[in-house]
Structure 1
């Protein structure tokens, strides 16, 4: 992770939005009845029942009814299961609302989120066939909807981070260190995908994610890496020659409470009514995430105690790709060759990283990599970083 940013990557109030569409969504309006020809969605307490699994490209309407007892959300996700194509939120019990999207051919996922937190339920594949269609609406409509979609992605990741962090801390405070160690890297993935967001909110990232080496003398070290060191205690030789002293139960409670508070503060910040993003924030966020990989993950410095750097690498790469794909259409119109390079390099780096595992099954620990393997990964990061560094200039130029 980086210690200092020259300017914020995401801003929260009064931002001028100049971003083209992620997927050409059009505004969603509240509705008490299904639109003609709508795909119906029943969001219940334990399922997300969608009436169709395929549709033809063009304008699609999902009529979402909440038959559960909690306020719910419905998402149409891209084929990576992360990027949000469209969402309808705050659907109260017994209420129906419509999600209208201009859908291009491709593979998608549908998912509901009762309570509007966590991973969601009833995730299912959804396929759009047919020919590519022109995006609906004028440029400003596309700009506005694209910003809404990226903010929705950020909210989704932070919402999952809140619930995942609580599960992790429950195990940690219960003294179930093995379960906490198992949850550590996968829970952090939600944070690593949107780390530039946290960096934009002043001291939240230092509180949540500073490494021991980043902390100024006299400042308190808190957050994930403080707990990491306690869960993966170093030998004296790796700790400046000093035998590590485990945290007491009271100290665990204190650091857990602070991480909970700071994570909630991040959640509150991205859910503020005036939170939005700009075009350079999206593209610079993609660039910044790959810089995180180059400066911390590929060197093994980020997760120095747990050696779970490749989990972070994967999450950073996913977050960078989501951000890039959000502005891909406008880049392609200006510089199709750059888009071809970026598409190829994102794919190549993902293929290379997949040789060492995945988030579901785990990765090779950093300290088990050979120098040649580290160099190969570093070369892949550099190969992507070169064209990615041109993204913002192309967008705003």
Structure 2
């Protein structure tokens, strides 16, 4: 069984971490408790909008994702998705943060119609189609109004566990989809010498890695090739990956630094792209258990405490707050996926976690600048202390999550 490990202090972090697999390959079990999908190749409901406001049609193509409505009353929703394009498509209902997958249908072939049936409480969401099953997809806001109906999760623990595990696997695949697409764009800019574009993309693309870092780190052969910091290099070890390119893009703190040649840039860029593609391939069939998800949430917060809040991770670019936010995102998504189980078993712990995640996010929001964050050098010592204290306050109840849901 996998127990996520956090990075050791940079003076002692090993080059090759031998971790047990975070998850095992196998088929996913999805039960229609929180979300579900049904093959509906003969459906006639895709002909037009339904009189039932909870039944919607989705016209998916290679370039469009047209939903018959921009909202619905809370309760059991049905999205009938017809793929008129030439590529295999996917359809998602995402939570308001654009990260958590509430429900999805995968592998919708050209000419196929399928139904996504799920129960959605009131709130803001996004619908998304993903032509070719890569990238962030074609998204649009979707509002669910309060109908007054009870939409709380029902079913026994076994059903809730199966849904939580399957939905987290979907989330990991979605993040590696975006990571692969973003990495390809990043390395193309870097190889072309478009440093301004590469610098802009660097922290944004890395967020997808950081959100699922325990999963990425579980592959002991890939992690040191992609995410090793210079301070952690052992004698004779070759340095590759994100942070090698980071130093070349932000050399100001490196005394006497010699910029990489065009050919060297291509070598490092191609190597990074190859390793991210390998990660993408390996996550296609991963499955998870509740203890792995909960331990992963704890591991992500440990990452924040040991390398992000200290400003060690992005030494050259100072983009640590992007990583900080992404680690918190990943921990929160893992927790929220387990909430239906936790609310039944330990509602007091659920309330405490919800409150402390919100408090930490409030502090992070205060560090935003434009579409991103302040550079870490611009964060005051008092604000760093507040962030650190909030991380520690969240870490204590989060450490109890695994026992509560396993």
**TM-score above 0.5:** yes
Contact kept, 8 Å, 1:112 with 1:123, in 2: the verdict is: no
**What is the Cα deviation at residue 199 of structure 1?**
1.1
Contact kept, 8 Å, 1:21 with 1:329, in 2: the verdict is: no
Q: Deviation string for 1:262-282 (max 9, x for gaps)?
A: 00000000113xx20010111
**What is the Cα deviation at residue 96 of structure 1?**
0.8
SS of the counterpart of 2:236? coil
Task: Give ranges in structure 1 of 5+ residues lacking alignment.
Answer: none
1:214 aligns with 2:232: yes
Between 160-169 and 5-14, the greater mean CA deviation after superposition: 5-14
| TM-score (norm. length: structure 1) | 0.91
Q: How far, CA to CA, are the matches of 1:157 and 1:58 in structure 2?
A: 27
Q: How far, CA to CA, are the matches of 1:7 and 1:392 in structure 2?
A: 19
Partner of 2:10: none
Q: How far, CA to CA, are the matches of 2:192 and 2:137 in structure 1?
A: 26
Q: How far, CA to CA, are the matches of 2:157 and 2:95 in structure 1?
A: 22
Q: How far, CA to CA, are the matches of 1:334 and 1:40 in structure 2?
A: 37
Partner of 1:167: 185
1:65 aligns with 2:82: yes
Partner of 2:60: 43
Q: Deviation string for 1:73-132 (max 9, x for gaps)?
A: 100111211100111111112211111112233322111111111111132223143222
Partner of 1:260: 273
Q: How far, CA to CA, are the matches of 2:257 and 2:211 in structure 1?
A: 31
Contact kept, 8 Å, 1:103 with 1:128, in 2: the verdict is: no
Contact kept, 8 Å, 1:209 with 1:224, in 2: the verdict is: yes
Question: Which of 138, 141, 144 is the aligned partner of 1:121?
Answer: 138
| TM-score (norm. length: structure 2) | 0.89
RMSD: 2.3
Partner of 2:295: 284
Structure 1 residues 51, 282: CA separation in 2 closer, same or farther (over 3 Å shift)?
same
Question: Which of 359, 362, 382 is the aligned partner of 2:392?
Answer: 382
Contact kept, 8 Å, 1:27 with 1:145, in 2: the verdict is: no
Q: How far, CA to CA, are the matches of 1:134 and 1:341 in structure 2?
A: 19
Structure 1 residues 341, 9: CA separation in 2 closer, same or farther (over 3 Å shift)?
farther
Q: Deviation string for 1:230-260 (max 9, x for gaps)?
A: 000144xxx4xx5111111111111111101
Partner of 1:155: 173
Partner of 1:105: 122
1:142 aligns with 2:182: no
Q: Deviation string for 1:172-203 (max 9, x for gaps)?
A: 00111111111111111111111111111222
Contact kept, 8 Å, 1:23 with 1:85, in 2: the verdict is: no
**What is the Cα deviation at residue 14 of structure 1?**
5.9
SS of the counterpart of 1:28? strand
Question: Which of 335, 345, 349 is the aligned partner of 2:356?
Answer: 345
Contact kept, 8 Å, 2:157 with 2:341, in 1: the verdict is: no
Q: How far, CA to CA, are the matches of 1:286 and 1:21 in structure 2?
A: 23
Contact kept, 8 Å, 1:118 with 1:160, in 2: the verdict is: yes
Question: Which of 315, 323, 338 is the aligned partner of 2:326?
Answer: 315
Q: How far, CA to CA, are the matches of 1:260 and 1:384 in structure 2?
A: 35
Contact kept, 8 Å, 1:74 with 1:111, in 2: the verdict is: yes
**What is the Cα deviation at residue 30 of structure 1?**
4.0
Q: How far, CA to CA, are the matches of 2:31 and 2:321 in structure 1?
A: 31
